[in-house]
Structure 1
Amino acid sequence: MDKRGGVLPTLLITGVSAFMASMDNLVVTTALPTIRQDLHASLESLEWTVNAYTLTYAIFLLTAAILGDRFGRRMIFTSGVALFTAASAAAAMAPAAGVLIAARAVQGIGAAMIFPLSLTLLVRAAAPERRGAVIAAFTGMSGLAIALGPWVGGVIVEIGDWHWVFWINVPIGLVLVPLAARLLSESHGPYGRLDVRGTLLVTSGLLGIVYGMVRSTSLGWGSPQVIAPIAAGVLLLAGFAAWERRVANPVVPPRLFRRRGFTLSSLVGMLVQFGMFGAIFLLTQFLQHVLGFSPLDAGLRTLPWTVMPVLVAPLAGAFGDRIGVKRLMVAATVLQASALAWFAVVVSPAVPYPALLPAMVVAGAGMGLFFAVGPRQALDFVAVEEEGVAAGVNSAGRQVGVVMGVAVLAGLFAAAGGGYGSGEEFVAGLRPALWAGAGFLALAAGAAVLTPSRPPATVHTLREAEGARRPGRPVEG
């Protein structure tokens, strides 16, 4: 009997891999000052040290899910861990900023191969009745990386040796690769042939849109270097949508978006990431630039926010079926919108830190609920054979939401007169950006309310039948 694919080994392997990739992206941001000094990097190089990872990660999430469906999800996931590990070693040994940026871009591709396939492998390993709990445990591990990232980055900045931001991944990756190859079960999607044209169209379209938005933070929305790639990306995605209606083996089956539950769940995910992470981008700078905390102190003071998902997500997973996934999603969006509104009301150059604490706790609780039930809700509305591409679509949408949120809220910050000349100037731009973030989260709450409570009967029946066919699982009478 094939003993691969057990829930516990799958959870540990995928969870640790996601933890490693999440932690690395967050730690790098606080290590940038020492990187600048050691490599004599320019401000633009420092921006691309972060953006190169974000860009390739957002672009290749869906592509990785497509390749996993075609060539094997375990194979692509394991290759992603190996690629991320090798790129981490290259980044640690980078002699110049250009080499570091290239290594970060490859790291982003590796991370894109890890995240959507982690979710698909985990869902297929779990019995239907345990799905909520294992997804919550997985997101809790990713949430722990979010919680510890700023603090670990602060410690590394204090020590001064930025190379360990990357070296720490290497021994972990060297252990995970053989474990994944040996213990994870292989699975494929429904199509035997790869839609090459569709894959190229969607990848190129996402590249144009994400690249333009990344550049908008430094060049402004009126720059031709922003407008041209976004316009090209939109046209390519329109061509992709037209092609998918004609091809026999579509990259993204159009029927996915004819299901109101999947479409609305994906929209909620994008809007939540848009509003919350765009606000986080500005609030972390507020703690340091306006309130005067060091990177380490700022990281410590964000722990009430970032630790909450680790505490809340497992509880949401355990009680999600009793309370209802839809109710938890509505609560998640309302809590986060309320938290940003609180921040917008109280922020000032002299605001005492305790005044920020209630919003941090509420925002963290909302994020914990969202991380626990968001991916699960989207997958509940698709058939089992569609889980791979559905996870890729959902993950890509959420990551594009992060990029859009940072770009749009940073643009609003600048348009409202925000700047770094003084605390008053920074707050002048921060407050309207926070209100905008709260508005996008209110839209997410509205979409969550409109999301059906249960999948269509046809999808529900297919999922139950697949659960009954899986080896070692009882067939319910």
Structure 2
Amino acid sequence: MSNGLYASCDVAAAKEVVCAHEASHPQLVIASTILASTLAFIDGSVVNVGLPAIGASFQADVSDLQWIVNAYLLPLSALLLLGGAAGDRYGRKRLLITGVALFAVASLACALAPNLPSLFIGRFTQGVSAAMLMPNSLAILGQSFSGEAKGRAIGIWAAVGAAAGAVGPVFGGWLIDVGSWRLIFLINLPLAAAAIALTYLFVDADQNSDSDALDWIGGLLATAGLGVTTWALTQGSAHGWSMFVAAVLCAGILLLIVFVLFEHRCGDKAMMPLALFGSSSFVGLTLLTFLLYGALGGLFVVVPYVLITAGGYSATAAGAALLPLPLVIALASPIAGAFSAKSGPRMPLTLGPMIVALGFLLMLRMGQGENYWRDVFPAMVVIALGMALAVAPLTTAVLMSVDPSHVGAASGLNSAVARNGGLVATALIGSVLVITGPALLSAVAGAAIAGALACVAASLSAFLLITAS
């Protein structure tokens, strides 16, 4: 999944942080946060393009390919809120440097992995470290600027994130074609080294004010619940459902229920304060984010895989096939933002997912993608236009949907929900990836229809639950 498309969800985390004092080296602070965030932005999308090559190298089955993606998304989804709270508690600069260093070590482990279990461990560690570096890089950006300077800094960060989301899959595909899939992990090392050096030298020292204990139990329950549930969905979709898999799924759901009950007991000290869900608008935005980004998560795994395995595309061409998404979103978002400012967030958040649903239906023409401009390009452009209309007002809507005391938790939770959508979608697409030959195209059509239905449900969530402005 292209994490670069999550930039709009994450921006709120920077906006809500109060500036402690202006940065002494503002441009270098921006550079350090961009380099750190880029590690997490490009990793998911680049790995998606590399799945066929990794699968061939390790003779992996479909569930193995799903876990190459979800071993990263699982800890990122479950621990993102905890990573931000840890930065408040122990220091954002310290957590950023630690997270980036751990990401570099994990990337090296992935590049050198001799077998699939080693690769899974490396990917899981990447996810843990991304949950540390993502919220703290944005918090540093927010605490280092104020007023118009903060807006400009966030704009630069978002623009570079979009560019990374565009270039990452193409560059990663080229590395796979000319060398090996292992190179897509090694490119993280110089980025990490530069991010650590700039952060250490030019980000001001931490000024910690949060002495509250961290919700470690909540983090562990969320990770365990999501992990068990994801395993069951992955096994069921790839290999069929059995009584044992169904029982594991029930156990995972039970763990998630225990997590919710524990968070209720923790009140405002929870990593996911349940008071947020007292707002119908926030509930609608949460459902919209989960469904819309879930559909996108499936798209970013299925399309490159099908184009490479069934369409005969090179990894570079498969990565380039996704280029219209970040490019069109970057170009159309300012127009969509102006429209949202006039109409309020409810209308664009209703129309945007409906347009994305139309784009998914256009995927029914994709076939093997023999003619890219006829079979693939139209669907990518329409999906991108719908996403541009939806993502522009999303951050503003999240910030407006809760009271000021919960703004930080709401923005962080919205980012986590977006990743969870991709996590669940990737777990469910095994029934598509397991098929070969002509039947694969029918399976892709079924997945496209499922994605369209998810987007329609996202649109209805906005229309029925978001309070009209």
TM-score (norm 1): 0.80
Residue number in structure 2 paired with 1:470: none
Does the CA contact (< 8 Å) of 1:116 and 1:391 recur in 2?
no
Q: Is there any run of 5+ residues in structure 1 with no aligned partner, and where? A: 455-477
Describe the superposition over 1:193-218 as per-residue Cα deviations: whole angstroms up to 9, x where unpaired: 23443343333323322333344443
Deviation at 1:393? 1.7
Deviation at 1:336? 0.8
Describe the superposition over 1:392-448 as per-residue Cα deviations: whole angstroms up to 9, x where unpaired: 32122111111222333544x48xxx82122xx122222222112111101111222
Q: Report the CA distance shift for 1:433/1:131 in structure 2 as closer, same or farther (over 3 A).
A: farther
Identity of counterpart residues, as a percentage? 29
Q: Report the CA distance shift for 1:240/1:163 in structure 2 as closer, same or farther (over 3 A).
A: closer
Describe the superposition over 1:318-374 as per-residue Cα deviations: whole angstroms up to 9, x where unpaired: 775455444433342122111112223x34458643333222112122233444443
Listed as ranges, the matches of 1:195-274 within 5 Å are 195-222=215-242, 224-225=244-245, 227-247=246-266, 249-274=269-294
1:433 aligns with 2:447: yes
Residue number in structure 2 paired with 1:458: none
Letter in 1 for 2:307: L
Letter in 2 for 1:288: I
Q: Report the CA distance shift for 1:350/1:161 in structure 2 as closer, same or farther (over 3 A).
A: closer
* TM-align CA RMSD: 3.4
Listed as ranges, the matches of 1:34-183 within 5 Å are 35=54, 40=58, 42-43=60-61, 47-123=66-142, 127=146, 137-181=156-200, 182-183=202-203
Equivalent of 1:420 in 411, 417, 436: 436
Listed as ranges, the matches of 1:334-349 within 5 Å are 334-344=354-364, 346-348=365-367
Does the CA contact (< 8 Å) of 1:91 and 1:103 recur in 2?
yes
Does the CA contact (< 8 Å) of 1:34 and 1:160 recur in 2?
no
Does the CA contact (< 8 Å) of 1:88 and 1:107 recur in 2?
yes
> 3-state DSSP class of the match of 1:3?
coil
Describe the superposition over 1:89-126 as per-residue Cα deviations: whole angstroms up to 9, x where unpaired: 33334444443332222111111223334444445556
TM-score (norm 2): 0.82
Equivalent of 1:330 in 339, 350, 371: 350
Residue number in structure 2 paired with 1:452: 467
Cα distance in 2, alignment partners of residues 385 and 14 from structure 1: 25
Q: Report the CA distance shift for 1:175/1:223 in structure 2 as closer, same or farther (over 3 A).
A: farther
Q: Report the CA distance shift for 1:392/1:315 in structure 2 as closer, same or farther (over 3 A).
A: same
Letter in 1 for 2:45: L
Cα distance in 1, alignment partners of residues 153 and 454 from structure 2: 29
Describe the superposition over 1:430-469 as per-residue Cα deviations: whole angstroms up to 9, x where unpaired: 2222112111101111222231356xxxxxxxxxxxxxxx
Q: Report the CA distance shift for 1:31/1:373 in structure 2 as closer, same or farther (over 3 A).
A: same
Q: Is there any run of 5+ residues in structure 2 with no aligned partner, and where? A: 1-19
Cα distance in 1, alignment partners of residues 233 and 315 from structure 2: 27
Greater RCO (Cα-Cα under 8 Å, separation 6 or more): 2
1:398 aligns with 2:412: no
Q: Report the CA distance shift for 1:229/1:113 in structure 2 as closer, same or farther (over 3 A).
A: farther
Residue number in structure 2 paired with 1:310: 330
Deviation at 1:147? 1.9
Cα distance in 2, alignment partners of residues 63 and 361 from structure 1: 36
Equivalent of 2:37 in 10, 15, 18: 18
Does the CA contact (< 8 Å) of 2:395 and 2:411 recur in 1?
yes
Does the CA contact (< 8 Å) of 1:341 and 1:434 recur in 2?
yes
Residue number in structure 2 paired with 1:28: 47
Q: Which moved more, 1:249-258 or 1:112-121?
A: 112-121
Does the CA contact (< 8 Å) of 2:38 and 2:164 recur in 1?
yes
